[in-house]
Chains A and B, each alone.
Chain A
Amino acid sequence: MASSGSGYDLSSSTFSPDGRIFQVEYANKAVENAGTCIGIKCTDGVVMGVTKPLLHKMLLANSGKRIHTVSDTCGIAMTGFVPDGRQVVNRGRDEATNYKETYGQAISPQILSDRCATFVHYFTLHGSLRPFGATSVIGGYDEETKEHSLYMVEPNGVAFSYYACAAGKGRQPAKTELEKLELHKTPISTEDAVKQIVRIIHMLHDSSKDKPFELELSWICEASGWKHTGVPQDKQKAAVEWAKEQLEEEEDEDESEDEEDGDEMEE
């Protein structure tokens, strides 16, 4: 996977003999070391979650957000270098405002992700600039087609649309768990997706090794009036309880995971 750059990795504007741009690959490393970010496209909306390690006890919870609203109908969740991600969010907000001014309607997630990807890619072309060390997960709703979608923009400027995506430290196990859900065949509801994201994050978190963390969750769905908002606190709490029960069950009985078990829920 990693090989020594030996001289071809000093600048974004240099290819290596085997056709790689090492600076961009190193930017991906910055993302791989950061908190896990998961996005799921559901039947009735899109849910995104990012973990934030609480580095100091003195840190106020709910500050230093990693999920931002870019327009009424689009939100961006980022992982990697948070300040780099903020630049992408700011650009996204500019693009959304300009689009609305020019064309009179809200930007669609497809076009927003394309604009953000072009922006991110620009920084991989110039020797005097460094690539963004952040991956942006874009969830949004298109007011014209009435469809919601999920995109992920990586530091090399690639953007794809996903049924579910993961980035950051725990992306490999997260992707495995998401694939087990077979979301491309049977998508789940946003309520279930919130629970699944919480479950996966808690599953990946090793309380003996990792710092305590905060999980930011946002969604854009029918329940939120197709506006990008944080998942309500009561749903988050319920999801955490459910997830903890699931994980305990898993420990007690090997591999019998009842994903649709909602009997304990009081809603």
Chain B
Amino acid sequence: MSRVERYMNNQSHMEGAESRGLKPGEVSTGTTIMAVPFDGGVVLGADSRVSTGTYIANRVSDKIAQLSEHIFCCRSGSAADTQALTDYVKHYLSQLAIETGRQPTVKTAAHIMKRLCYENKDNLMAGVIIAGWDEVEGGSVYNIPLGGSCIKMPFAIGGSGSTYIYGLVDSSFQEGLDEGAVRDLVKKSVAHAMARDGSSGGIIRTVTVKPDGNTRDYTSGNNLPYGPAGW
């Protein structure tokens, strides 16, 4: 059967992302991930739940991976796939930095990730958001969903939990927010997704990327801006 026929016959692509492609026992970052740029940097946010079916394999995982000094990647889908992809992109970027003698751009990182995701789309289940800061564009965000398309966006959300917060983010987002407002927006949105999506939960990790340095932070489960504690 051709790939197209298999795709049309298999109805599970209509359901949630996790029901397609995960092998039995494989660990999934059914997840909520988000990235929003501001003038002078970008904020990435993610939940921390990693599940195998209904068992939570890791409730405090780090889904925000560093690709180079000022470029990060939010991972969703199969944990194994996204970890392998992240390692490849890190490797290519470090080689490029040595050859060119300067820091790679977010656009380049996104392009490399896109190529890997697209060329191997049959064997991968990975949706990633590449976000970071570079000298050429400043803060930028690229969304690379399941098929391997790559689109630069004013903000990006992804993972299974993102479906529950499209409306919230669409109405809350504005251009020109400052760093603090962006971080609050990310935390609030991820918290709302964690409240409704069974595959998202735990803590909210955020990374703020700026040219003078990156800041890692987390919001623990009992301090979420919205959640069981607040109902």
Contact = CB atoms under 8 A, between A and B. Distances in A.
Interface of A: 101-105, 108, 110-111, 114, 144-145
A111 B92 contact: no
Contact of B136 (A104, A114, A144): A144
B107 A105 contact: yes
Contacts of B105: 105, 144
Nearest to A144: B136
Contacts of B107: 104-105
B108 interface: yes
A101 B92 CA distance: 13
A103 B96 CA distance: 9
Q: Is the interface of A mostly helix, strand, loop or mixed?
A: helix
A102 B112 contact: yes
B15 interface: no
Given A144-B105, A144-B136, A104 B111 contact: yes
A102 B104 CA distance: 13
Contact of B100 (A102, A104, A110): A110
Contacts of B114: 104
Interface in B110-134: 110-112, 114-115
B111 A103 contact: yes
B115 A101 contact: yes
Contacts of A105: 105, 107-108, 111
28 contacts: A101-B115, A102-B92, A102-B111, A102-B112, A102-B115, A103-B92, A103-B96, A103-B108, A103-B111, A103-B112, A104-B107, A104-B108, A104-B110, A104-B111, A104-B112, A104-B114, A105-B105, A105-B107, A105-B108, A105-B111, A108-B100, A110-B100, A111-B99, A111-B100, A114-B99, A144-B105, A144-B136, A145-B102
A111 B96 CA distance: 10
Nearest to A110: B100
A103 B104 CA distance: 10
Given A104-B107, A104-B110, A144-B136, 4 more contacts: A102-B112, A104-B108, A105-B111, A111-B99
Contacts of A110: 100
What are the 10 closest A-B residue pairs judged by CB atoms, nearest first?
A104-B111, A103-B108, A104-B108, A144-B136, A111-B99, A103-B111, A105-B108, A104-B107, A103-B96, A111-B100
A154 B163 CA distance: 58
Contacts of A103: 92, 96, 108, 111-112
Contacts of B92: 102-103
Contacts of B115: 101-102
A114 B136 CA distance: 23
Nearest to B134: A144
Nearest to A100: B111
A114 B99 CA distance: 9
B92 to A, nearest CB: 7
B107 to A, nearest CB: 6
Contacts of A102: 92, 111-112, 115
Contacts of A145: 102
A145 B105 CA distance: 11
Interface in B74-93: 92
B70 to A, nearest CB: 15
A111 B92 CA distance: 15
A159 to B, nearest CB: 14
B112 to A, nearest CB: 7
Nearest to B99: A111
Task: With a 10 A CB-CB cut-off, give which of A104, A108, A111, A145 has the most chain B CB atoms.
Answer: A104
Nearest to A105: B108
B93 to A, nearest CB: 9
A151 to B, nearest CB: 15
A233 B217 CA distance: 62
Contacts of B99: 111, 114
B135 to A, nearest CB: 8
Nearest to A104: B111
